[in-house]
Amino acid sequence: MKRYSKIWIMLSLISLQNSFAGRFGAIVFVIGKLIRFGMFFLLLAVLFNSTKALAGFTREQIFVVFLTYTLVDSISQLLFREVYRFRGRVVTGDFDLDLIKPLNSLFRPLLGGIDVLDAITLLPYLIVFVQITRGMQIQPLSVALFILLLLNALFISAGFHIIVLSLGVVTSEIDHAILIYRDIFQMGRFPTSIYTGLVRNVLTFVVPLTIMITVPAKVLFGLYSLQTLLAAFATSLIFLLVSLRLWQYALQKYTSASS
Amino acid sequence: MNKILIIAQNTAQETAAYRLNFVLWRARSVIRYLLSYFLWTAILSGVAGAVGGYSRAQMLTYLTFGYIVMTFVLATRTQDLGGEINEGKLSNALLRPQSFFQYLIGREIGDKVVNLVFSVAEVGLLLFILHPPVLFQSNPEVLLLTLLAVIGSTIMYFLLSLLMSLIAFWTNDIWAVRFLFFMCLEFMSGSLIPIDLFPGIWRSIVLSTPFPYVMFFPAKIYLGGMSVSDLRQGFMVLSIWIIGLSLLAYVAWRRGLKSYGADGR
Amino acid sequence: MSIISVKDLTKTFKVPQKQSGFGGALHSFFRREYNTVSAVDGVSFEIDKGELIGFIGPNGAGKTTTLKMLSGLLFPSSGKVDVLGFTPFDRKKEFLKQISLVMGQKNQLWWDLPAIDTFLLNKAIYEISDAQYKKTTTELIDLLDVSKQLETPVRKLSLGQRMKMELIAALLHQPKVLFLDEPTIGLDVVMQQNLRDFIKAYNQKEEATILLTSHYMGDVKQLCKRVILIDHGHIIFDGQLDTLIKKHTKTKHLTLTLESKVSDQTLSKYGKIIDNEFPKVTLSIPRSSTKHIAAQILEELPVEDIDIAESTIEEVIREVFSEKR
């Protein structure tokens, strides 16, 4: 475990050095993300000019849901940025050089390149989060549960990224898989109770946005049940196990770049 | 004219070749539509009457018609131009046996037709599955104005996207401007919230940018009941943008070619 | 006890069939047809500690696929593989710490950073102690003479220097088994020789077992006493290089230095002409009648000097491959 921490820190430092090489692009990226964040808030404010509540949620509560989405989304991208580069490594055969090392085969593809830019944008998100929730009188227990559920969401997110990596090992069409996942994930900007029918089922069972975003947000308002919590943790556990198994299977099917 | 049609056909066939790419792109568009659809259904189902002048039927009509319009307006191949310039392939393009302009238009038509067909099919499917209470406009005057707006928006976006690609003459980071553009478009096109729900000053500001003309303006006209002054204002701003962008594009093209040629490619 | 033991190893791939035309494209959209290709088909061999073995074969013969199964990258379709007492595909930490793979033209070094950063990363990955790290790097850097380039970003190094750094990175953890896949490809003649000398020295000094695949006969000639010939996934020869040459050539080469020109017509009486450029002539003659023909030539032709040699390895191998097809 200590070895992995050390290696992860070294990889992160390397990633940091590499990202400073393209400074202009980096700045534009950060600005774009902050614009998007700010604008969505304005949008929500406009929305609530016209209506008092949305699917039973007050304005502050909707804000919190959006902020929860932002946190999960940002931290995921921060941690799993390397997944976006995976296809390149498989196609050039560099992935072989990763596999030969005495490290867990998932380590480098999943966690090997944290995105420093996402770390930078995380700060304003957190500040806004604290501001908004300040007037809400949240119990310390709720905060603890919230953090636990955030971690839970990250595990589920990891599971999805592992599935994408498995796809990348077997075929090479993963760029789209990731983008579709991100688009679906965006639907979690609002509480999943606004969706109905097939869409809601998909967002509860297939890409469990309810557990990843809506439930943690509701915990902060003091709305939770033991059942839901257990379901949340069980889901992430099962999901992770399934994705890990899929990865093992994918490695068996791996054909490697031809020499 | 024939040449343009042939180019359009080729472009359409290219799309068939990059099937997976295209299907996934369509899937992503549908997903984004669904977000707005469900958001407003949720907001408007609890409220008897309307919000900001939009009843449920009106809002869903706005979103659905707007979806087709936006797909059509945004469908373009002008972004390829940026890459061609950066990679030094422009010389090849210029040597083609038809005018470069014909080439651009041809590709544009090809891409728009394919996307139009698909978006109409998608809407058909969605209407069949979700049964939203959409309204069909029958007033011929309104329909004419809508058509005019769509034509204007199409031309405007074509010029704008072209301009964003022409930046490639002077820099390699062409993705940056497009990236920022789409960030703004997400919020100011009206695809999430109709622009006339924006509070006073913000509404005016946004309506002077090109973004709302990609969806809000044509879709709102289609709904009917747009005031004459708003119509006049909208078309005026649209025209100004078209004229301004044409001039900019022309200047950028001439200047760009000069500096491009100087590199001896 | 062999260090590498392979029995009936097989690897098959499914290659999708692409059909032409629009109708074909539509058809393959719904029902993909696959061809099953045996890259490696029932291969068996044993390798002992300290051997330096050459895997030779044409492109697509299955050399690299075999190597990748031995190093744990690919999952065998069937058969048994045992390296250092481990099943490679299990990818156990203890196993991976004892092997290394170097692929020609591929680099594990971080492109924008100096090589030393990659070394330090590997030090952490392979859990090498500070003392051992210092000792090994000093030795290798010295041996390969790259001390001045340690702090230079890898992308600024020449191909040869990069290869040297690559080797250091691959050998930091003192692997017991080293897999080299086309290591000299793309290098200039001087670099190739340097590399060969290094590999030979490393093999002797560390008693490391080395498996080498190569296209270049120079690599094989200089480094490998034992060679394994693979074609279409089958082993067609496994043994000493000398034996291969002796057993499988029916011809020898006669190189004559002539005092005066002799026509092609005359020369062809004695054997197949390989080269006739006055004053040197090279003939290929049947092995069995070497003495007889040589004696004839010395009597009948104006010969100043005569040399009898084995045919080149390239020819030997070409012959073996074409024989077995």
Question: Is the CB of residue A102 less than 8 Å away from at least one CB of chain C?
Answer: yes
The tokens 């005359």 sit on which residue? C266
Quick: pLDDT tens for B23-82: 888 998 999 999 999 988 888 876 666 777 888 899 999 999 999 999 999 999 888 888
- Return the percentage of chain C with pLDDT > 70, whole number: 92
Q: Looking at per-residue confidence, does B53 or B263 come out higher?
A: B53
Confidence at residue C24, expressed as pLDDT on a 0 to 100 scale = 54
Confidence at residue A259, expressed as pLDDT on a 0 to 100 scale = 47
How far is the C-alpha of C205 from the C-alpha of C40, rounded, in Å? 33
Chain B residues whose beta carbon lies within 8 Å of the beta carbon of residue A29: 179
B173 pLDDT above the threshold of 70? yes
C166 pLDDT above the threshold of 90? yes
- Provide DSSP, A192-236: GGG--HHHHHIIIIIS-HIIIIIHHHHHHTT---HHHHHHHHHHH
**Quick one: DSSP state of residue C114?**
B
Confidence at residue B64, expressed as pLDDT on a 0 to 100 scale = 95
How far is the C-alpha of A83 from the C-alpha of B14, rounded, in Å? 29
H or E stretch covering C177: strand C177-181
Nearest-CA distance A175 → chain B (Å): 10
How far is the C-alpha of B67 from the C-alpha of B44, rounded, in Å? 19
How far is the C-alpha of C35 from the C-alpha of C16, rounded, in Å? 6
Quick: pLDDT tens for B204-237: 999 999 999 999 999 999 998 889 999 999 999 9
Question: Is the CB of residue A54 less than 8 Å away from at least one CB of chain B?
Answer: yes
How far is the C-alpha of C241 from the C-alpha of C234, rounded, in Å? 18
The tokens 């902060």 sit on which residue? A220
C31 pLDDT above the threshold of 80? no
Confidence at residue A51, expressed as pLDDT on a 0 to 100 scale = 74
Confidence at residue C232, expressed as pLDDT on a 0 to 100 scale = 86
**Mean pLDDT, range A227-243, rounded to an integer:** 94
For chain C, what is the mean pLDDT? Answer: 86
How far is the C-alpha of C95 from the C-alpha of C98, rounded, in Å? 6
Q: Are A153 and A147 spatial neighbours (Cβ–Cβ below 8 Å)?
A: no
Q: Which of A183, A185, A193 to mutate to test the interface with B (most CBs of B within 10 A)?
A: A183
**Quick one: DSSP state of residue C304?**
E
How far is the C-alpha of B35 from the C-alpha of B40, rounded, in Å? 9
Chain B residues whose beta carbon lies within 8 Å of the beta carbon of residue A24: 173, 176
Other CB atoms within a 10 A radius of the CB of residue B124 amount to 10
Select the residue of C89, C106, C117 nearest A94 (Cβ to Cβ). C106
**Quick one: DSSP state of residue A137?**
-
Contact A196 B41 (CB under 8 A): yes
Cα-based distances in Å from C156 to B250, C102, C186:
42, 21, 18
Contact A187 B192 (CB under 8 A): no
Nearest residue of chain B to residue A179 (CA atoms) = B28
H or E stretch covering A155: helix A140-170
A206, with CB counted inside 10 A (0-12, 13-18, 19+), is exposed
Q: Using CB atoms and an 8 Å cut-off, which of residues 18-47 of chain A contact chain B?
A: 24-25, 28-29, 31-32, 35-36, 39-40, 42-43, 46-47
Q: Are B30 and B64 spatial neighbours (Cβ–Cβ below 8 Å)?
A: no
State phi, psi for C35 to the nearest 5 degrees. -105, 135
Retrieve residue C61's tokens.
Answer: 């013969």
State phi, psi for C233 to the nearest 5 degrees. 80, 0
- Return the percentage of chain C with pLDDT > 90, whole number: 40
C58 pLDDT above the threshold of 90? no
How far is the C-alpha of A53 from the C-alpha of B47, rounded, in Å? 10
A145 pLDDT above the threshold of 70? yes
Retrieve residue B181's tokens.
Answer: 């553009």
Q: Note the pTM of the prediction, 2 decimals.
A: 0.84
Nearest residue of chain C to residue A9 (CA atoms) = C121
Retrieve residue C94's tokens.
Answer: 């203890």
List the chains bordering chain A where 3 or more Cβ pairs fall under 8 Å: B, C
Question: Is the CB of residue A131 less than 8 Å away from at least one CB of chain C?
Answer: no
Q: Tell me the range of A13-17, B168-172, B238-242, C58-62 where mean pLDDT is highest.
A: B238-242
Confidence at residue B2, expressed as pLDDT on a 0 to 100 scale = 80
Other CB atoms within a 10 A radius of the CB of residue A220 amount to 23
Exposure letters A142-161 (e unless 16+ CB within 10 A, then b):
beebbeebbebbbbbbbbbb
A147 pLDDT above the threshold of 80? yes
C97 pLDDT above the threshold of 90? yes
Residue type, A62: I
How far is the C-alpha of C35 from the C-alpha of A200, rounded, in Å? 42
CA max distance for chain A:
63
Select the residue of B28, B184, B197 nearest A46 (Cβ to Cβ). B197
Judged by DSSP in three states, A174 sits in helix
Contact C112 A21 (CB under 8 A): yes
- Return the percentage of chain A with pLDDT > 90, whole number: 49
Select the residue of A24, A46, A194 nearest B39 (Cβ to Cβ). A194
How far is the C-alpha of A206 from the C-alpha of A195, rounded, in Å? 14
State phi, psi for C41 to the nearest 5 degrees. -130, 95
Confidence at residue C306, expressed as pLDDT on a 0 to 100 scale = 87
pLDDT band at B22, cuts 50/70/90?
A: confident
Q: Looking at per-residue confidence, does C298 or A240 come out higher?
A: A240
Chain C residues whose beta carbon lies within 8 Å of the beta carbon of residue A5: none
State phi, psi for C58 to the nearest 5 degrees. -70, 175
C73 pLDDT above the threshold of 90? yes
ω into C16 cis (within 30 of 0)? no
Chain C residues whose beta carbon lies within 8 Å of the beta carbon of residue A14: 110, 113, 117, 121
| Closest to C13 (Cα-Cα) out of A170, A87, A98, A94 | A170
Contact A35 B42 (CB under 8 A): no
Cα-based distances in Å from C51 to A204, B152, C48, C54:
59, 77, 6, 10
How far is the C-alpha of C60 from the C-alpha of C230, rounded, in Å? 10
Contact A35 B180 (CB under 8 A): yes
Chain B residues whose beta carbon lies within 8 Å of the beta carbon of residue A189: 35
For chain B, what is the mean pLDDT? Answer: 88
Chain A residues whose beta carbon lies within 8 Å of the beta carbon of residue C97: 102
Contact A194 B24 (CB under 8 A): no
Alpha helix ranges (H) inside B46-99: 56-74, 78-86, 90-94
**Mean pLDDT, range A197-213, rounded to an integer:** 91
Quick: pLDDT tens for A18-44: 777 667 777 888 888 898 898 888 888
Retrieve residue C324's tokens.
Answer: 């077995």
Q: Are C236 and C272 spatial neighbours (Cβ–Cβ below 8 Å)?
A: no
Confidence at residue B25, expressed as pLDDT on a 0 to 100 scale = 86
Nearest residue of chain B to residue A189 (CA atoms) = B35
Q: Are B212 and B190 spatial neighbours (Cβ–Cβ below 8 Å)?
A: yes
Nearest residue of chain B to residue A35 (CA atoms) = B183
| ipTM, interface predicted TM-score of the complex | 0.84
Contact B199 A43 (CB under 8 A): no
Nearest residue of chain A to residue C123 (CA atoms) = A7
Select the residue of C74, C117, C125 nearest A101 (Cβ to Cβ). C125
Quick: pLDDT tens for C233-270: 889 889 998 888 777 667 788 888 888 888 888 888 88
How far is the C-alpha of B90 from the C-alpha of C258, rounded, in Å? 63
Dihedral, A35, A38, A42, A44 alpha carbons, nearest 10:
110
Confidence at residue C27, expressed as pLDDT on a 0 to 100 scale = 58
**Mean pLDDT, range A90-101, rounded to an integer:** 91
Nearest residue of chain A to residue B173 (CA atoms) = A25
Nearest-CA distance A56 → chain B (Å): 9
Question: Is the CB of residue A189 less than 8 Å away from at least one CB of chain B?
Answer: yes
**Mean pLDDT, range C111-126, rounded to an integer:** 92
Dihedral, A191, A194, A196, A201 alpha carbons, nearest 10:
0
Other CB atoms within a 10 A radius of the CB of residue C191 amount to 17
**Mean pLDDT, range C9-27, rounded to an integer:** 69
Nearest residue of chain A to residue B41 (CA atoms) = A194
Confidence at residue B84, expressed as pLDDT on a 0 to 100 scale = 82
Q: Tell me the range of B34-48, C57-71, C92-106 where mean pLDDT is highest.
A: C92-106
* Helix (H), strand (E), coil (C) string for chain C: CCCEEEEEEEEEEEEEECCCHHHHHHHHHHCCEEEEEEEEEEEEEEECCCCEEEEECCCCCCHHHHHHHHCCCCCCCEEEEEECCECHHHCCHHHHCCEEEEECCCCCCCCCCEHHHHHHHHHHHCCCCHHHHHHHHHHHHHHHCCHHHCCCEHHHCCHHHHHHHHHHHHHCCCCCEEEEECCCCCCCHHHHHHHHHHHHHHHHHHCCEEEEEECCHHHHHHHCCEEEEEECCEEEEEEEHHHHHHHHCCEEEEEEEECCCCCHHHHCCCCEEEEEECCEEEEEEEHHHHHHHHHHHHHHCCEEEEEEEECCHHHHHHHHHHHHC
* Helix (H), strand (E), coil (C) string for A35-64: HHHHHHHHHHHHHHHHCCCECCECHHHHHH
**Quick one: DSSP state of residue C262?**
-
Judged by DSSP in three states, A83 sits in helix
Question: Is the CB of residue A99 less than 8 Å away from at least one CB of chain C?
Answer: yes
CA max distance for chain B:
68
Confidence at residue B63, expressed as pLDDT on a 0 to 100 scale = 95
Q: Tell me the range of B234-243, C98-107, C196-205 where mean pLDDT is highest.
A: B234-243
State phi, psi for C75 to the nearest 5 degrees. -90, 120
Q: Where are the beta strands (DSSP E) in B69-199?
A: none
Chain A residues whose beta carbon lies within 8 Å of the beta carbon of residue B202: 42, 46
Question: Is the CB of residue B183 less than 8 Å away from at least one CB of chain A?
Answer: yes
Nearest-CA distance B262 → chain A (Å): 26
Enumerate residues 6+ apart whose C-beta is below 8 A from B244.
Answer: none
**Mean pLDDT, range B140-166, rounded to an integer:** 94
List the chains bordering chain C where 3 or more Cβ pairs fall under 8 Å: A
Nearest-CA distance B141 → chain A (Å): 30
